[in-house]
C-alpha cells in the first residue's frame, strides 16, 4: 500500500497520536496484506474477531477487496474510534463494528480473522473460540489467524516484555493470559477437518508472530 493510501486511512481517525499509530502500523506490519491474500478470490463476508479500531476492514476497502465486514471487540473505546473512521470513510453500508466479547459471535458465515488477539484469552477460552470460529466458516471460507507462539526463541521473550508494557499502559485490558504453542492451535483446527499452514510473520518487529491459514480440505 502506498504512502498516500496509508495517509488517507490515518486521516479517518482522530488525533495526531492515533493517526501516527495507523500510518506506522500500515507501513510496517505485513499482517493486513497477508490476511487480504488469504481471503483473496471470494467475496464472502468477513468476521474480524478482536478487530481493534477496524484497520483490517479499511485496508481491504482501500485494496478494493472489502466484502461485508463485521468487526467485534470488547474494548468500546476502540470500537468508537473505529466507528468514527468508518463513518468518515462513508463505509457504514459494508463495515459494521460492534462492541462485543469474543465469547458471543454473531450468526454469520464466511471468512474469519483472529489477528493478534488469541493470547489475551485463557487456554480454555481459546479452544472454545477456535471451535466457534470454525463454525462461522462458510463454504470456501478461510480462517486467518496471526498469533504469538510460545517457544524457546528470543523473539518469544521479547514479546512477553512488550505484553507487560501493553498491560501496564492500559492499551490492552487484562493483558496476555496464555501464549499458545503451534500444536495447541493446530490440534483443534485439524480435528475439525481443516488443512492448516503456518509460517513466520514478524514484519519489522522483534516479536514472535506467526500466520496460520486454515481451510477445509477439498
Q: Nearest Cα to 121, choosing from 144, 102, 149?
A: 102
Q: Which of residues 70-99 bind ligand SAM (CB under 6 A)?
A: 73-75, 78
What does the angle CA 113 – CA 114 – CA 115 come to, to the nearest 5 degrees?
A: 105
- 135 to 174: interface string for ligand SAM, x by CB under 6 A: -------------------------------------x--
- Indicate the residue among 17 and 217 with the shorter CB distance to ligand SAM: 17
**Interface pick for ligand SAM out of 10, 85, 115, 213 (rule CB under 6 A):** 115
Cell of 76: 468500546
Q: How far apart are the first and last CA of the chain?
A: 32
| Helices vs strands, H then E, count in the chain | 8, 7
- Indicate the residue among 85 and 102 with the shorter CB distance to ligand SAM: 102
- By CB under 6 A, the count of residues binding ligand SAM is 17
* 101 touching ligand SAM, by CB under 6 A: yes
The rounded radius of gyration (Å) of the Cα atoms in the chain is 16
* 182 touching ligand SAM, by CB under 6 A: no
- 35 to 54: interface string for ligand SAM, x by CB under 6 A: ---------------xxx--
Q: Return the DSSP state at 25.
A: H
- Closest contact distance (angstroms) between CB of 98 and ligand SAM is 10
Distance of CA 117 to the CA centre of its chain: 7
* 55 touching ligand SAM, by CB under 6 A: yes
Q: How many CB atoms lie within 10 A of CB 80?
A: 14
Task: List phi, psi (to 5°) of 49.
Answer: -95, 125
* 120 touching ligand SAM, by CB under 6 A: yes
Residues 6+ apart with CB under 8 A from 216: 137, 141, 193, 194, 195
- Indicate the residue among 31 and 137 with the shorter CB distance to ligand SAM: 31
What does the angle CA 82 – CA 41 – CA 144 come to, to the nearest 5 degrees?
A: 55
The window from 109-117, 132-140, 150-158, 178-186 that contacts ligand SAM (CB under 6 A) reads: 109-117
Q: State the residues that interact with ligand SAM by CB under 6 A.
A: 31, 50-52, 55, 73-75, 78, 101-102, 115-117, 120-121, 172
Amino acid at each position: 500500500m502506498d504512502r498516500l493510501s496509508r495517509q488517507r486511512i490515518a486521516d479517518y481517525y482522530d488525533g495526531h497520536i492515533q493517526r501516527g499509530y495507523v500510518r506506522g502500523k500500515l507501513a510496517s506490519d505485513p499482517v493486513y496484506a497477508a490476511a487480504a491474500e488469504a481471503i483473496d478470490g471470494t467475496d464472502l463476508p468477513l468476521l474480524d474477531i478482536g478487530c481493534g479500531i477496524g484497520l483490517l476492514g479499511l485496508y481491504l476497502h482501500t485494496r478494493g477487496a472489502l466484502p461485508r465486514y463485521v468487526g467485534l471487540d470488547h474494548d468500546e473505546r476502540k470500537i468508537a474510534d473505529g466507528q468514527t473512521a468508518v463513518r468518515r470513510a462513508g463505509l457504514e453500508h459494508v463495515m459494521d463494528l460492534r462492541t462485543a466479547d469474543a465469547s458471543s459471535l454473531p450468526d454469520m458465515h464466511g471468512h474469519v480473522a483472529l489477528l493478534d488477539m488469541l493470547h489475551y484469552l485463557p487456554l480454555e477460552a481459546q479452544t472454545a473460540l477456535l471451535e466457534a470460529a470454525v463454525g462461522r466458516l462458510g463454504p470456501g471460507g478461510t480462517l486467518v489467524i496471526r498469533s504469538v507462539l510460545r517457544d524457546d526463541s528470543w523473539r518469544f521473550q521479547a514479546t512477553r516484555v512488550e505484553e507487560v508494557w501493553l498491560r501496564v499502559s492500559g492499551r490492552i485490558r487484562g493483558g496476555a493470559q496464555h501464549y499458545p504453542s503451534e500444536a495447541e492451535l493446530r490440534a483443534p483446527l485439524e480435528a475439525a477437518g481443516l488443512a492448516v499452514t503456518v509460517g513466520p510473520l514478524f514484519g519489522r518487529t522483534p516479536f514472535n508472530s506467526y500466520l496460520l491459514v486454515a481451510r477445509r480440505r477439498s
